[in-house]
Structure 1
Amino acid sequence: MDFIIFTLAMGALIYGADFIIEESEKIALHYNISHFVIGATLIALGTSLPEMAVSISASIKGSADIAVANVIGSTIFNISLVLGVVFILAKKINPDRDIFAKDSAWSLFPILIFILMAIDGKLNFIDGILFLLLMASYLVFLISSNSIDEIDEELEKEKFAWGKSILLLLVGFVFVVGGADFAIDSASNIARTFGISEWIIGLFLVAFGTSLPELTISIKAALNNNADLAIGNIIGSNVANFTMVLGLTSIINPLNVDLSANFFDIAAAFIVTLMLVFITANKLYNKSAGIALLVVLGLVIQNSLA
């Protein structure tokens, strides 16, 4: 029964996030914001809502391992699985933006700061505030570096149905929050039933589920030759996961983090982040890079579950 509840809860999370993402993108495009910035801000924040809802719920329920493992696992899945699949499926990827020069540092900052903050074994209220300030800095940077793309003529002509948009946004938030609550309860029960640690449940089962919105959005963007949005979505989502998700979670309830016990998984998240920086530095947006990322994911899963 817990597996059925977990599946339905994750479906609610993803379905709710989809409502929020679609309405956010419509609003952004009406104001002619660049595709990369849309991907790195509104869509990234939207696709990070499942992680945020799950981690906050887990923290409140005293499951700190699920809260932190969810963010670590989502980072691994977002880069290795999502970008790996995008690079393999996309016919051509040639971003207009110099992602390495402008955005690579933002890929590394959050995880490095997380490691430094967690050395004392805990993320507390002050750490949470600093995380949120980092997120605010990232948003200011993106908005100030916004480059104008071609306006979508259909969206330009379309009139906003504000009542409908607000209703869909509210429905999306209800699905996300409710789904997160049921997902945590059922995931914890599954872990206890099979004697699996909550860290492993959060790292793989929950993290994979909460990464599905990023996977869906990025694949659609890549197939539509919109690589800027796909890559921006992943970078923005990872920044949001560490800064906004862990920031809000640790403000609500301090999180215990055992760096030594979970060294391999945290190191894996750092390594795939370095791979992303290397790929953007050398503009290796091709199938070979995609295969390499998927191979690394396979090795991470094998070692973590061994």
Structure 2
Amino acid sequence: MDIIIFTVAMAALIYGADFIIEQSEKIALHYNISHFVIGATLIALGTSLPEMAVSMSASMKGSADIAVANVVGSTIFNIALVLGAVFLVAKKISPDRDLFAKDSAWALFPILVFILMGVDGKINIVDGVLFLLLMAAYLIFLISSNQVEEIDEDLAKEKFAWGKTSALLLVGFVFVVGGADFAIDSAGNIAREFGISEWLIGLFLVAFGTSLPELTISIKSAMKNNADLAIGNIIGSNVANFTMVLGLASILNPLNVDLNLYFFDIAAAVILSLMLVFITANKLYNKSAGIVLLVVLGLVIQNSLA
């Protein structure tokens, strides 16, 4: 029964996020914002809503392992699975933006800050506020670096109604928040029933589920040759996970973090973030890079479950 509840709850999370993403994109495109900035802000924040809802709910329920593992696992899946899949399905990737010069540091810096904050074994309220300030700095940076593009002509012809958009956004939020609450309860029951630690449940089962919106949006974007939005979504989502998601969760309830116990998984997230920096530095936007990322994901899963 718990597995059924978990599946339905994850579906609610995904569909709720989809409502929010679609309406957010319409708002952004009508105000003529670049594809990368759309991907790294509104779309990234939308696809990070499941992680945020799950981690906040887990924090309030005292399940710090799920809250933190969800963020670490989502970072691993976003880079290894999502970016790897994007490289495999895209016919050609040639971002207009210099991702290495402008954005690579943001792919790595938040996780390093997380490690420094977790050295004392706890992410407290002060750390949470600092995380939120870091997220604000990232948004300011993105807005200031926005490169105006031509607005989508088909979208421009659509009648834009704030009432309809607001209603669909509200429905999306209800689905996301409600789904997160049921997902946490059922995931915890599954963990206890099978003798699996909450960390592994959060790292793989919950993190994979909450990464599905990023996977769907990024693959759709790549197939439409919109690499800027796809990669912006991945980088922006990872920044949001380690700043906004952990920040809000730790403000609700301080999170205990054992860096030594979960060294391998956290190290895997750092290594994959470094790989993302390396890929952008050398412009390795090809199928070979995608295969390497997916192989690394397989090795991470194998070692974590061993």
| Shorter-chain TM-score range | over 0.9
Unpaired segments ≥5 residues, structure 1: none
Distance 1:256 1:202 in 2: 15
Cα drift, residue 158 of structure 1: 2.1
Which one-letter code corresponds to 1:62 in the other structure?
Answer: G
Instruction: Please give the residue correspondences for 1:48-59 in structure 2 after superposition, counting only pairs within 5 Å.
Output: 48-59=48-59
TM-score, normalization by structure 2: 1.00
Distance 1:50 1:169 in 2: 14
2:249 maps to: 249
Distance 2:149 2:304 in 1: 42
2:123 maps to: 123
1:140 maps to: 140
TM-score, normalization by structure 1: 1.00
**What secondary structure does 1:82 align onto?**
helix
**What secondary structure does 1:230 align onto?**
helix
Distance 2:69 2:115 in 1: 13
Cα drift, residue 159 of structure 1: 2.1
Which 4+ runs in 1 deviate beyond 4 A?
none
1:223 maps to: 223
**Aligned-pair RMSD on alpha carbons?**
0.5
Distance 2:107 2:79 in 1: 11
2:232 maps to: 232
Which one-letter code corresponds to 1:233 in the other structure?
Answer: N
2:155 maps to: 155
Distance 2:185 2:85 in 1: 31
Cα drift, residue 163 of structure 1: 1.3
Instruction: Please give the residue correspondences for 1:167-182 in structure 2 after superposition, counting only pairs within 5 Å.
Output: 167-182=167-182
Distance 1:111 1:50 in 2: 19
2:183 maps to: 183
Distance 1:159 1:226 in 2: 24
Distance 2:153 2:116 in 1: 47
1:291 maps to: 291
Distance 1:131 1:159 in 2: 38
Distance 2:20 2:40 in 1: 15
1:263 maps to: 263
Distance 1:107 1:59 in 2: 25
Which one-letter code corresponds to 2:96 in the other structure?
Answer: D
Distance 1:22 1:270 in 2: 31
Which one-letter code corresponds to 1:94 in the other structure?
Answer: S
Moved more, 262-271 or 148-157: 148-157
**What secondary structure does 2:147 align onto?**
coil
**What secondary structure does 2:146 align onto?**
coil
Which one-letter code corresponds to 2:36 in the other structure?
Answer: F
**Percent identity of the aligned residues?**
85
How big is each residue's C-alpha offset from its partner over 1:258-290, in whole Å with a ceiling of 9 and x where there is no partner?
000000000000000000000000000000000
**Count of aligned positions:** 306
Unpaired segments ≥5 residues, structure 2: none
